[in-house]
Structure 1
């Protein structure tokens, strides 16, 4: 029995395209990041065979191991999307195409040290737009100083903001979180927005997402 990944990918891509049309945006303005955390490398190979190239991993050591196991896949791009401890920075610095959860200066400094002299690592600063005490991410008021400090570091390229807003069935409220992130990014001259998951990526595209992180709709539920 097949995994159904190619079919699910096609369905998600169609939904991304429809959301772009509704938002009056070109389809290529949105990158689909297939979140493969806790999924075996064999399923990533299937998604790759179906044309997927961008994959998101939450855990640094899992990213390291999968990058080694799938090193034969040309053009595969790894996105590190989870919070990072300084002692795990080396794994992300070595293999990541982008880091979507920058929120601590010591992590930025360590990444910078390990990327200096190579291609700068594109980074998204994580913002806690919902003001949730249980969520990681910077308060919007802390952004200006943090961005100034990170921009001074070699080896990093600040490209955008990322957020994982509180789940809500209130359409206007959900859209409001995404729009708040977009306005913050525009205010700080950051062109990219990493926002939207399986449950709300179409809404995120409507609000301007450039990268959507979709796991369950592509790979199925995690056990």
Structure 2
């Protein structure tokens, strides 16, 4: 069985090779290791192998890990799951990024609850395939939400995040990624802080990178099957 270090190396090589094939710089795509449901010991192994960016979907679990791993220098914690109003304070106080902003109300609460000396990096989550079961805004709702976030002094708008429908065929998946890339490019033209297009996971990261992703969120390909 491959170790976490070996799987991490393999994922990074896939990212590098895919970026190279797409005529992109190898460092233009970052790897976010999605560590939800995984023990602290697994995160330590990934850290020792060089990984610094970690993603968590559940507030309490994520906060407990952040607190347990405070001694690991240089870690960057991303909250990537749905966020309820009653959990915003914990996220604002502990995480470095929130990738799942889909309402102005949530953004305002995070802004009010964030420690003033360091802004919280945020991405707007886009429900690109209009799925009722998923969070996120429609494409035509990006602009007003971005405008609101840009006025909040303790938040820094960094870009967009999306989770495409996992039942799409290859052509439809690529079209979805193209739509996201276009929306990202439009946002970049308006806001100088925007530099992150978070799309692509273990099963579709190649297509995502080929269509402009700057950050892929990889869990099972690094840590193995998710714990129930």
Structure 1 length-normalised TM? 0.95
2:47 is equivalent to residue 68 of structure 1:
no
Residues of 2 paired with 1:77 and 1:57: CA distance? Answer: 11
* SS of corresponding position for 2:5: helix
Q: Is the 8 A contact 1:89 1:110 kept in 2?
A: yes
Give the drift of 1:86: 1.5
Give the drift of 1:116: 5.6
Q: State the aligned residue count.
A: 222
Q: Deviations over 1:101-137 (max 9, x none)?
A: 0001111011101226222111110011111121110
Structure 2 partner of 1:88 = 87
Q: Is the 8 A contact 2:92 2:115 kept in 1?
A: no
Structure 2 partner of 1:148 = 147
Structure 2 partner of 1:219 = 223
Q: Is the 8 A contact 1:63 1:91 kept in 2?
A: no
Structure 2 partner of 1:5 = 4
Residues of 2 paired with 1:42 and 1:96: CA distance? Answer: 19
Give the drift of 1:3: 6.7
2:124 is equivalent to residue 120 of structure 1:
no
CA RMSD of aligned residues (A): 1.3
Give the drift of 1:79: 0.8
Give the drift of 1:95: 2.0
Q: Deviations over 1:2-24 (max 9, x none)?
A: 87101111111110111110111
2:168 is equivalent to residue 200 of structure 1:
no
Give the drift of 1:168: 3.5
Q: Is the 8 A contact 2:159 2:187 kept in 1?
A: no
* SS of corresponding position for 1:92: helix
2:195 is equivalent to residue 191 of structure 1:
yes
Residues of 2 paired with 1:116 and 1:145: CA distance? Answer: 25
Give the drift of 1:97: 1.8
Q: Where does structure 1 lack aligned partners over 5 or more consecutive residues?
A: none
Map of 1:132-171 to 2, 5 A cutoff? 132-168=131-167, 170-171=169-170
Give the drift of 1:173: 1.0
Structure 2 length-normalised TM? 0.93
Q: Is the 8 A contact 2:101 2:122 kept in 1?
A: yes
Structure 1 residues 116 and 6, CA, compared in 2 at 3 Å: closer, same or farther?
closer
Q: Is the 8 A contact 1:195 1:213 kept in 2?
A: yes
Residues of 1 paired with 2:69 and 2:175: CA distance? Answer: 39
Q: Is the 8 A contact 1:116 1:154 kept in 2?
A: no
Q: Where does structure 2 lack aligned partners over 5 or more consecutive residues?
A: 189-193
* SS of corresponding position for 1:172: helix
Residues of 1 paired with 2:168 and 2:182: CA distance? Answer: 22
